[in-house]
Amino acid sequence: MSIKIAPSVLSADFSKMGEEIATLKGCGADLVHLDVMDGVFVKNITFGPKLVEDCRKFTDLPFDAHLMIVNPEKYVGAFADAGADIITVHKEACEDKIKDVLMQIKGYNKKCGVVINPNTPVKDIQDVIEYCDMILCMSVYPGFGGQKFIDDVLFKIEELSKLIRKTGKNIDIEVDGGINLETVSRAKSAGANVIVAGSTVFNAPDRKKIIEDLRNL
């Protein structure tokens, strides 16, 4: 699977989000990772579909919307209409409804994915892996950028990798949280191919160089 780099705009300057997003393609990014937080599912609040819609015109890179919200089924339609290309929802926010929400996203002709927090075991999503285009493994507790990578998550990525291989399908494994020039190689070796990086990209003096290094290391 090819490596894709998805800068997370959580660490961008929110007062000029459009311009921040516009520069990412020239820096070599493959996706734009949009962290949507509601202050309930996580202890932080970011933005909703309006910002996604307004930023859509600044790039043709795919928008990867990571919904850290309760009752995501109420909002996936709005994010699909706003221009998200991939929509991921947390297993912990959907519980038994997870398959229905994934199907709902597919119904909008968008790619879908399930997210698991660091303490959620892979077995909790085993039954829905085959319906996903991507599985997102959180390597920090969601809510804030700049946290430390949780090493134990590497075992889950390996486990997921094996399960995905068994399905015979092309399902991406995305890793999110604490990715830097040191942790990225371990995440890739474990099997992750979509790499989210917020603070590492946006705080770097040279965003193009850091994206290249995250891809090639």
Only one of the segments 76-84, 100-108, 145-153, 163-171 lies at the binding site for ligand DX5 (rule: CB under 6 A); that segment is: 145-153
Toward Zn ion, which CB reaches closer, 66 or 90?
66
Structure tokens belonging to residue 101: 């929400």
Which residues in 149-208 contact ligand DX5 (CB under 6 A)? 176-179, 196-200
Count of helices and strands (H, E) across the chain: 9, 8
Residue nearest to ligand DX5 (CB): 198
Query: Residue 135: which of 206, 71, 209, 66 has the closest Cα?
Result: 66
Query: What whole-number distance in Å separates Cα of residue 112 and Cα of residue 130?
Result: 11
Q: Which of 5, 8, 80, 210 binds ligand DX5 (CB under 6 A)?
A: 8
Q: Which of 62, 77, 83, 143 binds ligand DX5 (CB under 6 A)?
A: 143
Report the site for Zn ion in 150-209 (rule: CB under 5 A): 176
Active site residue 176: yes
180 touches 196 (CB < 8 A): no
Q: Which of 66, 110, 156, 188 binds Zn ion (CB under 5 A)?
A: 66
Reference 88, options 54, 61, 62, 58; nearest CA is 62
Residue number with CB closer to ligand DX5 (82 or 150): 150
Please give the DSSP secondary-structure letter assigned to residue 29. Answer: -
Q: Which residues are tagged catalytic?
A: 35, 176
